[in-house]
Amino acid sequence: MKIIYDRDVDAITITFRETTVTTRELREGLFLDLDAEGRLAGIEILDASKRLGGKDPVTQASLIGISFKEAS
């Protein structure tokens, strides 16, 4: 898994698997990346600081109660 925070656009990309994806908008600013079989391959979050509650760069994401720190 890879977590990337892009400060220029304030977006987080969480990649579970490197593959060709189709991106579907779940709701405004939240996108799911699906592989050819429709399985989740990644997540994209726009306006991440606002959505995740903080002014500092986002360095951690929590999924289903498990925390993953941003790769250095």
The per-residue pLDDT for range 31-59, each reduced to its tens digit, is: 999 999 999 999 999 988 877 776 654 55
Torsion of CA 7, 29, 44, 37, to 10 degrees: -160
User: Structure pTM?
Assistant: 0.72
Angle at 65 between CA 64 and CA 70, to 5 degrees: 90
How many domains in the chain?
Answer: 1
Range of the domain at 56: 2-69
pLDDT at 70: 45
**28 phi/psi in degrees, rounded to 5:** -55, 120
**Residue 1's pLDDT band (cuts 50, 70, 90):** confident
